[in-house]
Amino acid sequence: MTAEKAGSQFSLGDNRTIEEVVASLISHDYIPSFCAACYRKERTGKAFMKLAKPGTIKGKCSMNALITLKEYLDDFASTPVKDAGYKMIAHCSKQLEPAEQEMLKLFLAHVDSGLRDEYV
């Protein structure tokens, strides 16, 4: 029985589209991330925890989140979500260290040229 049926107390699922979820996250200043780099780089389990506990994974996560967000925006998003997402990327990139900003520019240029699935 779905939540729409009479007598339902609440919905057990999130029926929003990916576009709606991404738009909501951006509007609340959260970076939607489609990153799977840790899995691909075998940064899982103990290896992940060694980076996560001291916080050193953050540098990788921030960069990868922005790269994968741009890929999503370029490939799938509507114009309003693209506009909001590109503003978020510009704002967040300014918060990175100068060397990371330069690295991100390179990754984003690669995305612009059609490359996909790059990560740190």
Q: Give the Cβ contact number of residue 35 at 10 Å.
A: 19
What is the per-residue pLDDT for 59?
73
Whether 2 is covered by a domain: the verdict is no
**Which band of pLDDT confidence, cut at 50, 70 and 90, is reported for residue 118?**
very high
Assess contact for 64 and 120: CB atoms under 8 A: yes
Whether 22 is covered by a domain: the verdict is yes
Whether 9 is covered by a domain: the verdict is no
Whether 11 is covered by a domain: the verdict is no
Q: What is the mean pLDDT of residues 38-48?
A: 86
Give the gyration radius of the chain's Cα atoms.
Answer: 17
* Total number of domains in the chain: 1
Q: Give the Cβ contact number of residue 106 at 10 Å.
A: 10
Residue 58, domain extent: 18-112
Whether 95 is covered by a domain: the verdict is yes
Whether 79 is covered by a domain: the verdict is yes
What is the per-residue pLDDT for 5?
59
Whether 61 is covered by a domain: the verdict is yes
Q: Among 57, 66, 81, 74, which Cα is nearest to 34's?
A: 66
CA distance 15 to 34: 19
The predicted model scores a pTM of 0.83
Whether 10 is covered by a domain: the verdict is no
Q: Is the pLDDT of residue 7 over 90?
A: no
